[in-house]
Amino acid sequence: VLIEVNSETDFVARNDEFQALVKNLAMQVAGLAPEYVTIESIPADVLEAKRSELAADPQVQSKPADIRDRIVDGQLRKWYEQVVLYEQPYRDTDQTVGQLVTDAIARIGENIRVRRFTRYQLGEDL
Amino acid sequence: VLIEVNSETDFVARNDEFQALVKNLAMQVAGLAPEYVTIESIPADVLEAKRSELAADPQVQSKPADIRDRIVDGQLRKWYEQVVLYEQPYRDTDQTVGQLVTDAIARIGENIRVRRFTRYQLGEDL
């Protein structure tokens, strides 16, 4: 796992709490294999394809249109919790990773964000 | 830098010489910022675009057609030495990185290859 976490100053980047946060975030990426940092960073075509796929389900199709949209929205939220780092549950806490980062920002007093990550899975197809 | 180097067996993957090779390869990627593992792994459209760019140079255009091709081929080889990991010079030796890997294969007695790498440059645009 390679992860880039940005702070505003070098001072914070060298801070022990920041370093621990980066390590925990890297372990999260290793363990739960997210694909995107935030919901906003999901490419529009990927999101549209996922929405169409969920809407095409016969069980969803059998419902009235307004209910259909709500079901798909709910399923998209569940999907975010799987593929979006900031929406994933953090370990066995009831916090998301995004909340963990927000807490760290509050404690450290400086903006912090995960800019990108790369994860290699042994044996995965390229 | 994240790098995946494949051997045929776990036995070799745990070998000290193999581990040292992986470390040296990662340092090579960090220092010389290659973009591709091998010449063969350059996407065809990228290679074609590079060839056209080199051929469009007025100095090249002023030469007869057969000489033009030879000049462009020579410039492509120089470009490979910059952007292709296996074609880059290894540190201050007169070996390429590809030769370093070939030597390691001979000594360790098992096929070894760099499968992929990812390099983050601080501050680079995404």
Tell me whether residues A120 and B4 touch, CB distance under 8 A.
Answer: yes
The 10s digit of each residue's pLDDT in B75-121 is 999 999 999 999 999 998 999 999 999 999 999 999 999 999 999 98
Which pLDDT band holds residue A122 (cuts at 50, 70, 90)? Answer: confident
Per-residue pLDDT, averaged over B40-53, amounts to 97
The answer to whether B46 contacts chain A (CB < 8 Å) is no
The 10s digit of each residue's pLDDT in A15-30 is 999 999 999 999 999 9
| CA separation, residue A58 to residues A53, A55, A84 (Å) | 11, 8, 26
Nearest-angstrom CA–CA distance, B72 and B51? 7
Which pLDDT value is given to residue B19? 94
Q: Which residues of B touch A118 (CB under 8 A)?
A: 2, 118, 120
Closest chain A residue to B3, measured at CA? A120
Which pLDDT value is given to residue B13? 86
Tell me whether residues B1 and A2 touch, CB distance under 8 A.
Answer: yes
Nearest-angstrom CA–CA distance, A87 and A96? 6
Give rounded-to-5 percent helix, strand, coil for chain B: 60, 15, 30
What is residue A101's DSSP assignment?
A: H
| Contact yes or no for A9/A110 (Cβ under 8 A) | yes
C-alpha count within 13 angstroms, C-beta hemisphere, residue B75: 17
The 10s digit of each residue's pLDDT in B30-44 is 999 999 999 999 999
Q: Which residues of B touch A116 (CB under 8 A)?
A: 120, 126
Which pLDDT value is given to residue A56? 95
The answer to whether A120 contacts chain B (CB < 8 Å) is yes
Interface test with A, best of B1, B2, B3 (most A CBs within 10 A): B2
The 10s digit of each residue's pLDDT in A103-117 is 999 999 999 999 999
The answer to whether A8 contacts chain B (CB < 8 Å) is no
Q: Is the pLDDT reported for residue B123 higher than 80?
A: no
Q: Is the pLDDT reported for residue B122 higher than 90?
A: no
Tell me whether residues A120 and B120 touch, CB distance under 8 A.
Answer: no
Which pLDDT value is given to residue A87? 97
Nearest-angstrom CA–CA distance, A98 and A96? 5
The 10s digit of each residue's pLDDT in A39-91 is 999 999 999 999 999 999 999 999 998 899 999 999 999 999 999 999 999 99
Cβ-proximal residues to B110 (8 Å cutoff; 6+ apart), any chain: B7, B8, B9, B12
Nearest-angstrom CA–CA distance, A122 and A62? 41
ipTM (interface predicted TM): 0.70
Nearest-angstrom CA–CA distance, A3 and A28? 11
